[in-house]
Amino acid sequence: MDNILLKILDVKREEVAELKKIRSSNDLLREAEARQDTRGFANALKERIDAKQNAVIAEIKKASPSKGIIREDFEPDALAMSYATGGAACLSVLTETQFFQGSHDFLRRARAACSLPVLCKDFMVNPYQIYRARAFGADCILLIVAALDDKELHDFEQIATELKMDVLVEVHDEKEMERALKLKSPLIGVNNRDLRSFETDIHNTIRLKDMVSEEQNRLLITESGILHKDDVKLMNDNDIYGFLIGEAFMRQEDPGQALATMMAQD
């Protein structure tokens, strides 16, 4: 199968080049620096995970390259409120436009509708995107290890930190986990979906968990493929309490209720 990730990254680089023609990096950075309203994304997860309570990053996602349109009735404000009522710890909002039909306006609207911290879920390839995420209100950004070299990971993490944002570092395999553990961010997301082929195996998180020691003080988040209560139990049985879930909720009439039902701990 074609490498979907490489296609997305090529499009993102072109997109950034076009955006810079409309608004300069310096102008956007000034706006990002002027915002002093981050909500503490990592802390919201840590409080629950430390107590062995399920901590959910609930995702607002309209479409994906592998599934097409996931939700026709798509109102970010209403979805954010539903998730907050259902017990989400944080939100994730897809802002990638071409492949996921997301937008930064969705992020702005979702964050304005509730008090939860929000992740800007996108494919970061340039500092410009980090400035833009903060300017629109993001409390956290995603850095995909497979998409960046070690210098970019370090530099992008530092930029986000200077803008008072948290960083969710996403890995898929052992080599990527080794690279992620060199960074300072406590948040490590293990994507059970291979972004090169879009194949999914939820046992991926369990396998990679063994590489992270307690002394490293990391918060492990399992991403992709968590669809049923049994999947949640499997993770809990392996001492994993952090989740990023989108599709399983977005396909339900009431996403927040679906979240509450799936995450209820006996």
Where in the sequence numbering do the catalytic residues fall? 59, 61, 121, 170, 191, 223-224
Dump strand ranges (E) for 13-89. 55-60, 63-64, 68-69
Name the burial class of residue 222, with classes exposed (0-12), middle (13-18) and buried (19+) by CB atoms within 10 angstroms of its CB: buried
Burial of 75 (0-12, 13-18, 19+ CB in 10 A): middle
**What is the rounded CA–CA span in Å between residue 137 and residue 118?**
8
Asked if residue 37 lies in contact with residue 134, where contact means CB atoms within 8 angstroms, the answer is: no
Distance of CA 246 to the CA centre of its chain: 10
Q: How large is the greatest C-alpha to C-alpha distance in the chain, in angstroms? A: 54
**Looking up tokens 């960083």, which residue turns up?**
167
- The residues pairing with 169 across neighbouring beta strands, listed in sequence order, are 143, 188
Q: What angle do CA 242, 244, 249 make, to 5 degrees?
A: 125
Q: How far apart are CA 15 and CA 3, in angstroms?
A: 19
58 SS3 class: strand
Rounded-to-integer distance, Cα 156 and Cα 134, Å: 13
